[in-house]
Amino acid sequence: MPPSKDMVAASAIPLILSILKSGDSYGYAIIQQVRELSGGEMEWADGMLYPILHRLERRRLVKSYWGTADTGRKRKYYRLHRSGVEELAELRAHWDKLHGMLHRLEGGELCST
């Protein structure tokens, strides 16, 4: 089952930051990578990504620069900023905690009855 819209929205920033942590990238490649990582289940609307990237840039979590694609076309690349690394660590801690909570609940550890 594909993830809900809310789930997609909530996971977008940690996913983008994680992808950029492994190397500079650009919009189209980020969308393709998310599709591949999710086994085709997570389809980001193409128009959704850029406003998020621009917001991250304004928050100085990422920075952008113009490069040239193999085709010779101008291409905007994004690079993770140092504050982006810190933000990612914080987000990962939240997600890990949530995952741990769900795992414990599934294991029945927190059931009081």
Partner 1 sequence: MFDLDRAVATWTESVFADRCVSDARVAELKDHLYCEIERLRAEGHSAEQAFQSAVATLGETTALAAEAAKDRSVLATACVALARAERRDLRRAFRAPLMAHAILWAAVMLGIALMLSKSATPDSLSFLTISLLVPCWWASEQILRRALEQGAAGHGR
For residue 26, the minimal CB distance to partner 1 (Å) is: 7
Measured from the CB atom, is 48 or 102 closer to partner 1?
48
Q: Is-contact 13 20, C-beta < 8 A? A: no
Question: With binding defined as CB under 8 A, does residue 71 bind partner 1?
Answer: yes
Question: With binding defined as CB under 8 A, does residue 60 bind partner 1?
Answer: no
Q: Is-contact 52 61, C-beta < 8 A? A: no
Measured from the CB atom, is 54 or 103 closer to partner 1?
54
Amino acid in position 29: A
For residue 79, the minimal CB distance to partner 1 (Å) is: 15
- Spell out the residues 6+ positions from residue 4 whose beta carbon is closer than 8 angstroms to its own: none
Residues 33, 24: Cα–Cα separation, whole Å: 13
Residues 98, 5: Cα–Cα separation, whole Å: 18
Among 50, 92, 94, 104, binds partner 1 (CB under 8 A): 50
Measured from the CB atom, is 27 or 84 closer to partner 1?
27
